[in-house]
Structure 1
């Protein structure tokens, strides 16, 4: 209730500012005919760009209204900079919306006049305006609104957070009074823009593609349902990768009758500019990223040869992930401090695992941790590319049981062949560490293979998030480099270690040979067979050396 009152107060303030600046602004007007033909796949009657200077407005009037149309959806889209869309309806009162992807519904008896304003001082804004026409039996997008400040809200509310994105839409209706509920279905769609591309032309091209039903089905991905209400979708955020969202409402009794909501977008971050929206934005993360590249190449090609160093890094990687998750669950700290604590803990874990090999020297047990790391990576890939959204995996017990099962089965499958398993773990994990560092410079999204698992462990309600990872040419290139590096590393280590023992000898044993007792009363050589002196009827030790020519009874 307080949020709704605050939104209405904001709209009143913006309306007052609008009227106070009406004299000083640069006015313009456009008249749009509404007699153009529309098709089933494309309901757009008009679409075109306008340019608004700082503190200016444009009034849009309509003429030649098609008598077969019942209502229209007027849209105004800008890139990054907010604009204001305003109309005056005698029955519903003044309506004002602010944002980058705006839309209002107007019934054609009579049609409303719309005003698009730019209140940004000294900022020129390019705006794409579009008009979509619909017939009587088609659902009204946002017609059964109960939360938004505008009675009929055909636009989406996209809320971007650091780890996830909420896309909300008001329920559609099949009549203006919304007297009949649950008579229209909602299908959410999304389309990714090129990664790390913030150009306005690319953005407007994506917006226009998500306005017609034909292009939505051609370029869009249908977002599956989760346990959230039907009017909401929660998606994993991929900062730097833009996405266009829209909703298609269809009647339950006749699926050929539909309407499209005003498309909206998100770049996966709130602070968007031509150089920002990066995942790694602090100096410690950048330093660790640079070091990780050299460490990954070393492990990929020389990990098994320098076995003790590999043991340290295996413990280090495990310690960093475990500590990061535990600290994030226990308390809230800044990311640099969290990474620093996880790094220090990783050094400690690495030393513990190196000490384990130094004391015991058991190859099968030593290779177990790298095998578990490989299983963790494969389970993370499975979660990252899981098709659709499985409702039963929203339960933490189901998800983590399946995740641990994949980890353990992978470790048990490879640890039985310790030598080949260790080389395989070094090649795959080392190649991924290299690609992970390259990902920062290329701007792909393979880093979210691990990040999404960490989010699932520490972010509240992330179990309801749909991952839907993008698959751009950068992702394909990075995945190809990963596969090539892993293959080269595996075969190179096999070739480089030919003729050598499978594992180096342990540095120290837990139970060294015990010294002879010297205290009083001790019996020396109790378990030894007494040695015979020469001349006592036994051959000397040298004479007792046997070979293949020695007689059996000699």
Structure 2
């Protein structure tokens, strides 16, 4: 297989209305002739009104080629492409990364296509074009499209779900290669049963949104060799599988998707048309990168401050720890329940969950104040820490195993991860308390930094929340696009956990492991005060008992005494 690259700089001066599906370019003078004699790289600059007709002549084309795969890629606009003079709706494709499949006739040497800008406010764009002749032994991608127009559709279709959190990728069936007439596209055709489809992805390097970087990365995913070298294979479709795949997205992180269809017997392969998405509703992603929504920005800023306090002083201020671990689970569960059972927007749900978490925190503080049982409190804290541990595990490739597609299996495995923490650490209550404060507090700090810097670590908990309410998310691949910032934050996270435990241990040295609950402390204080009062009363009685008895006659007036009342004077010689 040979690949022919043509990079065309097409500058369109919009003089009237843009191309519509009903206009005809047959008699147009705006015709771009591309002669692919040596199949080299072309850079053509021209000024064309409205639309441009592209004719690619292949003088060396022989009868072994059955079709030609044509690709169009633009950076920040949309194109309308068609193989026919009149690009009607049933024959045209519109988008920023589109492709056409030209079925060759015997001894045909010309391949024609028609392309135009469809954005009314765009006057120029640069298009990257690649056409790939396919011989008779190579599978023909998208040549058995029986659902949508056009009939030959080698494009990948992307459908966004729930604020671009999840995408659903579909593509049309391929057919085996042919010499003259294409084989039947019936699903029971034995020839088509040998075809397999390998789905690949490649993330665009972090913080790269320019046109040159996009085209440079696209070239790696437009040919079979480039896809297999630079792409990451995540799924293989068999002969009876539905050609549909779900993929979790990360806002602002560009990803290139493509599929290779191969003959499992001969090994012949051909690519589909790659698609690019940034999961933010923008073709090149720069408008969504680094965009901080006011509500989320405030929430993450507050989370960073609270997390720093909890990381280093959580166990020292034990009542603040109780408030935190009561508030956090109630807030997370409120988000899950409201998202699954209401149609409210995510900012509204977040605001409501922030309010609903307050009663949970206050309730947990009240329970401790009244009874002060350490084990139940630490059991709840350990489960919260286990929730974070399981979220981390299922954020790794371990979470992409097919067995987790079933909600029951996923839920049981997730709860096993949650229960590991109390099973191991419940006997070390003080260490458990300090570790939970350090782990969750440092995660809030790291999550806030990740959100502001365009990382992905704040998706660790969001991944669990998304699975709880987004239909089909359980079957989605969660491929994490790690970047240097994320690796740095992971290291900082580990350091913060260790430092947080050590600082808390230092602050609580010489103190009892857990303070008394408020009710018992108040009861002891009241009993102590009562004991002091009783002691004071007892001492008063003791002092009164030890005072000498007074002679009642001593108070008599000496003048009133007679001689009989006086003591006789005894004179001793």
Give the structure-1-normalised TM-score.
0.82
Contact 2:51 2:116 in 1 (8 A): yes
Deviations 1:43-94 (A, max 9, x none): xx7676767777342523213233243322111111231101121289x998
Evaluate the alpha carbon distance shift between residue 372 and residue 47 of structure 1 in structure 2; reply closer, same or farther with a 3 A threshold.
farther
Report deviation, 1:442.
Answer: 0.5
Are 1:167 and 2:179 matched, yes or no? no
| Aligned equivalent of 1:15 | 21
Q: Structure 2 unaligned runs (5+)?
A: 1-18, 528-541, 543-573
CA deviation profile, 1:211-264 (whole Å, cap 9, x unmatched): 233332232111226999431110012111111000000012222x11011111
* Unpaired runs of at least 5, structure 1: 1-12, 37-44, 517-532, 534-554
Report the counterpart of residue 32 of structure 1 in structure 2.
35
> Aligned residue for 2:331?
320
Residues in 2 aligned to 1:515 and 1:357: alpha-carbon distance in whole angstroms: 19
| 1:394 corresponding residue in structure 2 | 405
Q: Within 2, Cα distance between the matches of 1:513 and 1:405?
A: 41
Which of these residues, 189, 213, 217, is aligned with residue 224 of structure 2? 213
How many residue pairs match? The answer is 492
**In the alignment, structure 1 residue 177 sits paired with structure 2 residue 173:** no
Indicate which of 273, 276, 282 corresponds to 1:265. 276
Whether contact under 8 Å (1:49, 1:129) holds in the other structure is no
TM-score by length of 2: 0.79
- 1: distance between equivalents of 2:466 and 2:172? 28
CA distance in 2, matches of 1:305, 1:94: 70
Q: Which residue of 2 aligns with 1:548?
A: none
Are 1:254 and 2:266 matched, yes or no?
yes
1:235 paired with 2:235, answer no
Shift of 1:18: 5.3
Aligned twin of 1:347: 358
What is residue 115 of structure 2 aligned with on the other side?
A: 116
2:280 & 2:309 partners in 1: Cα distance?
A: 34
User: CA 1:49–1:371 in structure 2 vs 1: closer, same or farther (change >3 Å)?
Assistant: farther
1:245 equivalent in alignment to 2:284: no
CA 1:428–1:515 in 2, change beyond 3 Å: closer, same or farther? closer
Cα shift at 1:499: 2.4
Distance 1:481-1:441 versus aligned 2 partners, 3 A rule: same
Give SS of 2:511's match.
coil
Mean Cα displacement is larger for which, 379-388 or 448-457?
379-388
CA distance in 2, matches of 1:354, 1:50: 71
Could you tell me how far 1:95 is from its partner in structure 2? 2.8
2:251–2:289 contact (8 Å) kept in structure 1: yes
Preserved CA contact (<8 Å) 1:55 1:121: no
Question: How big is the shift at 1:398?
Answer: 1.1
Quote the Cα distance in structure 1 between the aligned partners of 2:404 and 2:211. Answer: 38
Aligned-residue Cα RMSD (Å) equals: 3.0
Deviation at 1:515, TM superposition (A): 10
Matched, 1:132 2:135: no
Tell whether the 8 Å contact from 1:301 to 1:490 is kept in structure 2 after alignment: yes
Is the CA contact 1:35–1:66 (under 8 Å) kept in the aligned structure 2? no
In the TM superposition, residue 337 of structure 1 has moved relative to its aligned partner by: 1.8
CA gap of 1:484–1:443, structure 2 versus 1, over 3 A, is same
Structure 2 CA distance, aligned partners of 1:54 and 1:114? 17
Instruction: Kindly state the Cα deviation for residue 32 of structure 1 after the two structures are TM-superposed.
Output: 3.0
